[in-house]
Structure 1
Amino acid sequence: MYGLIGRMTARAGQREALTAILMERVALGMPGCLSYIVAHDTADAEGIWVTETWISEDAHRDALTDEAVKVVLRQGLPLIATFEDATVTTPVGGLGLYG
């Protein structure tokens, strides 16, 4: 498995709009994605965390090439003030990970 944990900061007043765009990605369907969680940072009014689990790194890379996903990402980019480096993980199990 392949996991990513990333944090971004929305532009002032744009966290809700950015969250909605990130959640659109889920509605598109993401083959190979086992878990995709968007969470608001409680210590930062504009902070957003995204935690993802994929069946493989290739599945994640393939999802980024999907045209519908690219459209969603282009919509969200103008609302992002900063990205922090994502942390790559190797998920080993957990509640909800296997259905």
Structure 2
Amino acid sequence: MHGLIGKMLAAPGKREELLAIMLEGNDAMPGCISYVIARDPASEDGIWITEVWDSKESHAASLQLPHVQATIARAKPMIAGFGDYFATEPLGGIGV
């Protein structure tokens, strides 16, 4: 399995709008086991994204899906930057 944990920074005052776009763009993504979007309680503009995929290749392929490309295009103007980013190797757990 392939896992990712990353922090995204919304433009000031745009976090809720960005979260809404990211949450509505979650159609089927082959190989996606878990995709969680969360507010960072320690930052007004921070968003954490946690993903688990069956493989690194499935994650890469997901970025080419039309609905993912559309979500990225809508979200891009509201993204101020990115923070920490971690790749993980999930072994199992609830929902995995």
Same fold (TM over 0.5): yes
Residue aligning to 2:92 = 93
CA deviations on 1:19-40 (whole Å, 9 max, x unpaired) are 11111221x2111100000010
CA deviations on 1:38-60 (whole Å, 9 max, x unpaired) are 01011101100000000000100
Deviation, 1:85, is 4.7
Deviation, 1:67, is 1.5
Runs of 5+ unmatched residues, structure 1: none
Runs of 4+ in structure 1 displaced over 4 angstroms?
A: none
Which residues of 2 match residues 21-60 of structure 1 at below 5 A?
21-26=21-26, 28-60=27-59
Residue aligning to 2:72 = 73
Deviation, 1:94, is 1.1
Give the 3-state SS of the residue equivalent to 1:30 in structure 2.
Answer: coil
TM-score where L is the length of structure 2: 0.94
Residue aligning to 1:8 = 8
TM-score where L is the length of structure 1: 0.92
Give the 3-state SS of the residue equivalent to 2:25 in structure 1.
Answer: helix
Runs of 5+ unmatched residues, structure 2: none
Q: Percent identity, aligned pairs only?
A: 45
Tell me, in whole angstroms, the C-alpha distance in 1 between the residues paired with 2:10 and 2:71: 15
Which shifted more, 16-25 or 49-58?
16-25
